Amino acid sequence: MHDDRRITEVRLQRFVRERIGPAVYSRSLPLALSSWDAPDEPVPALEAMRQDFRPQEHGAPWGKPWGTKWLRLQGEVPESWGTGPDTTVEVLVDLGFTTEIPGFQCEGMAWRPDGTIIKAVSPRNQYIPLKLLGGGMAVDFYVEAAANPDVAQGWTFAAMPYGDKSTAGTAPQYRLGNIAIAEMNQAVWELQQDIWTLSGLMAELPLELPRRHEILRALERMMDIMDPDDVAGTAAVGREALAEVLARPAYASAHQLVATGHAHIDSAWLWPVRETVRKCARTFSNVVSLMDEHPDFVFSCSSAQQLAWIKELYPELFSRIREKVRAGQFVPVGGMWVESDTNMPGGEAMARQFVEGKGFFMAEFGIECHEAWLPDSFGYSAALPQIVKSAGSRWFLTQKISWNQTNKFPHHTFNWEGIDGTRLFTHFPPVDTYNSELTGRELAHAERNYRDHGRGTVSLVPFGYGDGGGGPTREMLAAASRTANLEGSPKVRIGSAESFFTQAEEDYPVLPVWVGEMYLELHRGTYTSQARTKKGNRRSEHLLREAELWCTTAAVRTSGAYAYPAAELKRLWQLVLLQQFHDILPGSSIAWVHQDAERNYQAIGEALEAIIGQAAAAVLGNGERMFLLNAAPHARAGVAALAAGEPAVPEEEVHAKAHDGGYILDNGVIRAVLDGNGLLTSLVDHATGREAIAPGQRGNLLELHRDTPNEWDAWDIDGFYRRNVTSLTQAASLRLSREGAAAVVSVERLAGASAVTQHISLAAGSPSLSITTSVDWQEREKLLKLGFALDVRAERSAAETQFGHVFRPTHTNTSWETAKFEICAHRWIHVAEPGYGVAISNSSTYGHDVTRNIRDSDGGTTTTVRLSLLRAPKFPDPDADRGLHELTVTIRPGAGIAGAVEEGYRTNLMPRLVRGASPVEPLFSVTNPALVIEAVKLAEDGSGDVVVRLYESLGERSAGKLTANFQVRSVTAVDLLERPVPAPGVEPGQGGVDLALRPFQLVTLRVSRAAGPASK
């Protein structure tokens, strides 16, 4: 037979485009329009409806960037419309949409005149059924149209002005499209869905498979028997021609797909947080409307923060959501406050994501999520399995690792083993998207791509347009029903994430194991972009630690006279957790988002300083003695950990003298030599007498790189950046001064056009040299690194992560190691050979790289540790990081892991000196410093119980005793939500708790107080 396949396929494309599509709505009638433009920020619906609406021309341009236009739509439905057996009436609202990019342009919300929400209108969901407008044949409602600019601009990554209202301009962004009453033919629409499903499937089948040709010929017969001049009248016979091929059952071995509705909404990104709130309302209104029509439709919704916004600002919609939660259709997932970044948040912050998220879902809906849901975060910390399990969850889902540039991840369903040995059932949807449309291509890709065939048979597919694109649609549900049991296609069933995980566990009982972090081989620049946001996060985390510690101390020590500010601390925690969303903390949002973040951090800091001050006054009493409040888990200046006492005056002094154009600083603990350009040429700890700086090399070396990634500017650092570097070896000035008990060398130099001042200080008794770098950053597309070339043969580096640290090889033996040319560390990074190591801590820097080289001169190994201080990407914020920055780094020679841990806290918990009357004993003390107390707080339930969270910090088996220094009735091991759980190695005993913890084990204890006198 002659091959006319391509001819038939082209014929089909045109038949659908010119005949089927237009016949869905065969007749329409324009509505009368009037409008009012909000002068600036959005206003509540009822307030907007009270304004003076003026006549609005159809087809007119509208919408300054980030503006809001309110439209009033009025008209009458002709009596004969919607009376046929296959016809209904809908209102179509086209605000000027571009259907190619749902979620990245204008959006609209339809409102009834009484201020209740109807549903949203979006690029691929422009209809509003007449029955939702209140009944009758009269049309009278409002549309809140948001002129969100297309910041993506075709993903060219070009600098653009729209990310900041001050530079976005006022030119209209859109032109109103068709806004009309229309009669819909349901039979034609159903035929359209039949064709869409079959043609999508056909395109994915091999040419040699008979099934492909059977579908083609059925589609051909459909076109032959239909009348192109009477599509509505012949749609039924067209469907009959396709019925047989649609009814063929799937292969017995077909892959199974659990399809769950989804609408991934970034809590901020190419729009500000205030617009995310409206995106959520629009999407969720679409979802509940769709549920009314389809009782089997299930939608998975993560991020408690987003539902908290709906509860506060859209209470009527929240009530509708509650009903759908009870019905099992609207399903909260993830159990986190937001879909956070997992590389950079501190351990306690990651814990609180689950405490606040699960707490909200349980309080509002009576539901506990058992899966962590992070489809889009930029890599996954090796500490996450333990944190997820400690929150009472069992499963983990992500998709982002499919974005890897270099290596393809070997599994889709597996056990993920964290740093402490905890294993977590994990799934990567092989469909490779969290915004599926359930197309034939996507379903076929999911089946072909699944890497666990022969062992597992089921995977998950989240479907729906995200980021304000409207979520799932009726077209997607039609596709799901047609592919439930269709030959040549995977079997699709609508279901919840929980139903998928339950089935997958039964289906695949013996899982492969992935050990350690899941490093995303992309988006490495997110460890550095928007340094002010990262500094605000780090500072807020530590202020929250201090505030909770001193508030708890005051509540216990004053026998209840001090009122613990639980509600305010919760509010501040939730605000910090919001900023840890995976496009805020990583620095990958528009300028507006980061301006908001910086304002929030300023307000958080002011509020927490006030709380700390009040708690300190309550616990110390009125007096003129000077006390050091030591919130660190290690003693400092003679003051015990977690205590307040008078600091010891250092007996040692720092000797400083000029040397060869530079200076030598020596405090009897370490000795540092700086050359005439302020570069560190020698660093020796007196205990070992060993030189830390490699022969002929330098530390404190600033290097300026060209930073022009191929795409995703704020997200990416591409490996070729290293080929273009300028070493900033020349200083403009160098001077020595004294600041209290410290000697300080100040260095001024230029980094490109940016002025740099460094204060290199050595304090009396300090085991580390501190370097504070102040930069007036004026570069564009540059990366500033600070490096230390160390005489250490380190085969791996250790970098702090949540509740522990992660090792990474320094070599590039395989493509997996080669891809990790930029890595994330929290407060410290450590490199060592047996018997000797060097720790480098930081105040707010996350991006690092560690390289090694063998010296020709002596055969020794130089291990170079560099910190990424600043970047200057042009998209999406063309002025990212420009301005003033201050970053502190310390280097501690002769340090083991314990020294690195201590140094990290020392650098991030600045000495806090407060006047008072008497010292304060710590609430808790630990006999082994390897057991680090991370948080002390009062219980979430308001009982007054004290909760203490600690972890094994060295990566080894550690034993010790925790003692509560107040009257105790009982001690219970609990999970992160403060519920009793078994805890291996935890033995409450007389006067304390005996601990024998495995490496990096996390323990939370709930201490019930006994009545008795408070003590200082």
- Token pair for 386: 């333990």
- How many residues are given for the chain? 1016
Cross-strand partners of 884: 776
Helices vs. strands in the chain: H and E counts, helices first: 19, 53
Residue with tokens 């999508």: 200
Per DSSP, the residues of 538-598 read HHHHHHHHHHHHHHHHHHHHTTT-S---HHHHHHHHHHHHHHTBTTTTTS-S-HHHHHHHH
Q: How far is CA 518 from CA 417, 979, 994, in A?
A: 10, 29, 34
Alpha-carbon gap, residue 632 to 905, rounded angstroms: 6
- CB atoms inside a 10 Å sphere around CB 779: 19
For residue 475, give the H/E element and its range.
helix 474-482
- CB atoms inside a 10 Å sphere around CB 520: 22
Residue type, 166: S
Q: Give 525's DSSP letter.
A: G
Q: Give 251's DSSP letter.
A: P
Please choose, from the candidates 133, 155, 152, the residue with its C-alpha nearest in 3D space to the C-alpha of residue 142.
Answer: 133
Alpha-carbon gap, residue 255 to 498, rounded angstroms: 19
Q: How far is CA 62 from CA 36, 125, 171, 173, in A?
A: 11, 20, 8, 6
Instruction: Sort residue 87 into left (φ over 0), alpha (ψ -120 to 50) or beta.
Output: beta
Q: Give 721's DSSP letter.
A: G
- Token pair for 680: 């560190």
Helices 273-293 and 474-482 pack at an angle, to 10 degrees, of 50
Residue with tokens 């949807």: 429
Per DSSP, the residues of 586-602 read TS-S-HHHHHHHHHHHH
Number of alpha carbons in the 13 Å side-chain half-sphere of residue 892: 25
Q: How far is CA 708 from CA 152, 376, 879, in A?
A: 18, 23, 15
Residue 164 among the catalytic residues: no
Cross-strand partners of 865: 788, 850
CB 434 within 8 A of CB 262: yes
Please choose, from the candidates 842, 831, 840, the residue with its C-alpha nearest in 3D space to the C-alpha of residue 797.
Answer: 831
Single out the catalytic residue among 37, 376, 507, 994: 376
R_g (Cα) of the chain, nearest Å: 31
CB 964 within 8 A of CB 945: no
Q: Is the Cα dihedral 346, 350, 352, 353 positive or negative?
A: positive
Residue with tokens 């040419």: 207
Please choose, from the candidates 552, 486, 357, the residue with its C-alpha nearest in 3D space to the C-alpha of residue 966.
Answer: 552
Provide the greatest CA pair distance for the chain. 102
Residue with tokens 């050595």: 762
Q: How far is CA 188 from CA 73, 183, 195, in A?
A: 27, 12, 11
Burial 275-292 (b: 16+ CB within 10 A, else e): bbbbbbbbbbbbbbbbbe
Alpha-carbon gap, residue 94 to 110, rounded angstroms: 12
- Token pair for 543: 């202020």
3-state DSSP assignment of residue 706 = strand
- Token pair for 545: 């630690």
Residue with tokens 């190695």: 985
Residues annotated as part of the active site: 376
